[in-house]
Structure 1
Amino acid sequence: MTENYTALYDEHKKLGASFTDFGGWQMPLKYSSELAEHHAVRQAAGLFDLSHMGEVWVEGPDAAAFLDCALVGKISAVALGRAKYSLICQEDGGIIDDLISYRFSEQKYLVVPNAGNARVVAAALAERAASGPDGAFDVTVTDASAETSLIAVQGPNAEAILLKLVSAEQAALVTELKYYAFNEVTVAGHDVVLARTGYTGEDGFELFIPNEEAVSLWAALSEAGEGLELLPCGLACRDSLRLEAGMPLYGNELSREGNPYAAGLGAVVALSKEGGFVGRTALEARKAEGAGSTIGRRLVGLKGLGRRAGRSHYPVLKDGAVVGEVTSGQPSPTLGYPVALAYVDVEHTEAGTLLDIDLRGKAEPFEVVALPFYKRQK
């Protein structure tokens, strides 16, 4: 697999980061202690390089109608300055990726897919733009992933850190920014797209900036966070944070073989919107047959009743029989017990159901619980 490097790679090396391949990118796994980084985000703030994520611009008179056709959600209903979580699916309803769409104007959207799927999603959008149900859509699809960096500040102190770097005149653009909304703001002298989004379960921001300005912005954020217990954070703690928050990871909980209803994302699918969209017929049939509700398996949260954690692909058992499979699992640093996400036969998915995970031949007790495992106090 080709190795890609973000504009901040050398900064991570200077900080002593351990690296890992993720979606073809060399990304910081951790800098010192992944446990310390996890707790920093929950208690103070963490600084993340997310430049492996994709950025695809969709522009033109048909932009809203096109995204309604290309994605499962009603993107045309998104207000200006707001964002929406959605899915891009295959004709058979399988999930190509989960992504966020940001609406900049009536004719301009930014679509952010996951790292390993960025090129696939950009290509799928370009193909769908050229072959709509009534011919080609009047849109331009531009993959700007290679030129764009994405930096996140997550945690209770995130807002205070940002406020140290914006002018008094723009402070309200930060403090009044709602969840899943964005503003164009000047941060430490850099014009950025500032979104109140994240993948940690905490309050926080994601900042989009051209590659050539990323090092300067990273340095400014690091300096602003020195008195606010900010730590640089890698992918290891990002995974434990998103797991506690019950957020799915593509390749673990979501895949082309799965479907939104089994993944608990049926509400994301807008079957009632006018016009067709890719995968609609298949998803209507899946819903009608009871996928994820009366047949098949559904994604659930599992709370460990012992000390040992389940891991991806470990079997889930009921009275010794296999009834599911773990997709993500590890000890929860915040809660102090193991947690896991797993696909389980629907008849065993009610909260309070006692199940086991097969930990290499030893049955370890778990309980089905409502998601998320962790929810921040507002």
Structure 2
Amino acid sequence: MDEGTGKMAQSLEDKLKNYDSPVDMLRNAEGGPYQFPIKSEFSNWRDEQEAFRKTAVLFDQSYHMTDHYMEGPDVKRLLTDLGANSFKTFGKDKAKQIVVCNEDGYMIGNSILFGLEDEKINIVNRPNAGNWVQFHAETKGYDVVVHKDERSLDSDQPRKGYRFEVQGPNAWAILEQLNGGPITGFKFFGMGEINIAGRKVRALRHGMAGAPGLELFGPYGDYDLIRNAIIEAGKDHGMLLAGSKTYSTVAHESGWVPSELPAIYSGESMKEYREWLPANGFEANSSLGGSMVSDNVEDYYLTPFDLGYSHIVKFDHDFIGRKALEEMKDSRDHKRKMTLIWEPEDVVRVFSSLFNEGDRYKFMDMPASHYATYPYDAVMHGGRQVGISCYPVYSSNFRRWISLCLLDPEVAEAGKELYVLWGEPDGGSAKPVVERHVQTEIRATVTDCPISTEARVTYKKWAA
């Protein structure tokens, strides 16, 4: 409700007028962590996590991501005008991680971009990046038609397609068994087709576990047929079905930050976009949590360089944010993406406080302690903040709590001892998912990112 007019807010811009600041809206939003609407566990998340590294897992990605299908003669021009990537060789059966920024060079979002045909694409992930591209397609005169297939939580319509992922050391053997023979011709982040249960199934090759795997997709009517065939083939190779608890933790071992706060909530240049985004949409109802607190929403914005995407940004074309990124690319102040290993003794102390009669520390849900859409915890050293910790999880593969972190360069070295400020100030925000608690310090040791040696070595080889 707009306090000035008494009318219901129609856009994100309208909704922001009801708050003292964008931070006030985000920190007190009712929404909790990003949801994965699949079964939480099929066996138990400890075994499922370990199968990701030791044998193989089947992830069902059919429900939690938004698909932006776009088709038309201006598709490539649209992508070129918005993406920080190069699109010189992009087309059918190509895929890439698309990065989009605002005019100041700060991240709006990143997604996986699928080249379905030469003039047809699909942008898949949380809706931040796809919405930005859709906005330009619909309002800036591009000859592009957009079909948005909402994630299941935002729609009562059946999904347009299924999406499965087979990952782990045994993944390729399972996929070749399904195919009825060797799979050839798939380059890293290249697409093609394999045979499954009498169907030609399109697939994207990558390897979250540091070993070759495929992401499989097709019409939703084939969901049961393809899923059952994968499960049957996986029985010979120790494959486990992985639920939402496991899925919400594996990106962290692979070194991928699931989502950054989109840099859209401030600035006159973004006002038209905020007026286009609905008040009941994802961006207007996401939540911000953690011990990092600032009244200025721009303190939460990140650049592609902060997130380790220097290799993605290419200055071979004009795009929104290019000038700003060119000016900042050689700066030595970019944050460095690393991993933090949390001190077990301090984690145990947090859990033991559950048995206190008085104050307790912020609860750490197992295995992923994400209680906001965007978790930003302060990383401290010498009494000052030196970075951001995000998406803390327990990994059964490493038998430790870990988190991804973005650190100031002077402390971004393996073996460095820092601490995470855990919990929100003043007993917590108004978010209903946050209980009353007190803050505490958790010691943490910096290590490489990805933390998995297999993934780290393999990703470097693929990127070469």
Q: Which residue of 1 aligns with 2:100?
A: 88
Question: Aligned-pair distance for 1:121?
Answer: 4.2
Q: Which residue of 1 aligns with 2:420?
A: 357
Question: Aligned-pair distance for 1:164?
Answer: 2.3
Question: Aligned-pair distance for 1:313?
Answer: 4.0
Alpha-carbon separation, structure 2, partners of 1:148 and 1:364: 43
**Secondary structure of residue in 2 paired with 1:128:** helix
Question: Aligned-pair distance for 1:234?
Answer: 1.4
State the number of aligned residues. Answer: 340
Question: Aligned-pair distance for 1:195?
Answer: 1.3
Question: Aligned-pair distance for 1:126?
Answer: 3.0
Alpha-carbon separation, structure 1, partners of 2:184 and 2:118: 25
Q: CA RMSD in A?
A: 2.9
**Secondary structure of residue in 1 paired with 2:186:** coil
Question: Aligned-pair distance for 1:307?
Answer: 4.8
The answer as to whether partners of 1:75 and 1:101 remain within 8 angstroms in 2 is: no
Q: 2:113 aligns with which of 101, 115, 122?
A: 101
Q: Which residue of 2 aligns with 1:129?
A: 137
Normalised by the size of structure 1, how large is the TM-score?
0.79
Q: Which runs of 5+ in 1 are unaligned?
A: 1-20
Q: Which residue of 2 aligns with 1:12?
A: none
Alpha-carbon separation, structure 2, partners of 1:122 and 1:261: 21
Q: 1:328 to 1:121 in 2, by over 3 A?
A: closer
Alpha-carbon separation, structure 1, partners of 2:391 and 2:323: 30
Deviates more, 1:44-53 or 1:89-98: 89-98
Normalised by the size of structure 2, how large is the TM-score?
0.65
**Secondary structure of residue in 1 paired with 2:178:** coil
Q: Which residue of 2 aligns with 1:166?
A: 179
Question: Aligned-pair distance for 1:340?
Answer: 1.9
Question: Aligned-pair distance for 1:198?
Answer: 5.0
Alpha-carbon separation, structure 2, partners of 1:87 and 1:28: 30
**1:366 lines up with 2:410 in the alignment:** no
Amino acid at match of 1:376: E
Looking at both structures, which has the greater relative contact order when contacts are Cα pairs under 8 Å and sequence separation is at least 6? Answer: 2
Q: Which residue of 2 aligns with 1:300?
A: 338
Max Rg structure: 2
Alpha-carbon separation, structure 2, partners of 1:100 and 1:186: 23
Q: 2:380 aligns with which of 292, 310, 317?
A: 317
Cα deviations across residues 3-47 of structure 1 (Å, max 9, x unaligned)? xxxxxxxxxxxxxxxxxx975662322223111001112111111
The answer as to whether partners of 2:111 and 2:130 remain within 8 angstroms in 1 is: no
Cα deviations across residues 169-193 of structure 1 (Å, max 9, x unaligned)? xx34x24422211112331122321
The answer as to whether partners of 2:167 and 2:213 remain within 8 angstroms in 1 is: yes
Alpha-carbon separation, structure 2, partners of 1:22 and 1:48: 19
Cα deviations across residues 255-305 of structure 1 (Å, max 9, x unaligned)? 4322212222222222x222x2122233334436x2xx326x443322345
Q: Which residue of 1 aligns with 2:256?
A: 247
Q: Which residue of 2 aligns with 1:149?
A: 162
Cα deviations across residues 111-163 of structure 1 (Å, max 9, x unaligned)? 22x14x1xx5444323323555xxx3333333345311111111112122222
Q: Which runs of 5+ in 2 are unaligned?
A: 1-31, 151-158, 264-300, 348-363, 370-374, 424-438, 459-464
Q: Which residue of 1 aligns with 2:266?
A: none
Q: Which residue of 1 aligns with 2:84?
A: 72
Question: Aligned-pair distance for 1:306?
Answer: 4.5
Q: 1:22 to 1:334 in 2, by over 3 A?
A: same
Alpha-carbon separation, structure 1, partners of 2:131 and 2:450: 33
Alpha-carbon separation, structure 2, partners of 1:34 and 1:164: 26
Cα deviations across residues 232-273 of structure 1 (Å, max 9, x unaligned)? 10122123222111111115xx54322212222222222x22
**1:268 lines up with 2:312 in the alignment:** yes
Q: Give % identity.
A: 27
Q: How do residues 42-61 of structure 1 correspond to structure 2 at under 5 angstroms?
A: 42-51=53-62, 52-61=64-73
Deviates more, 1:358-367 or 1:91-100: 358-367
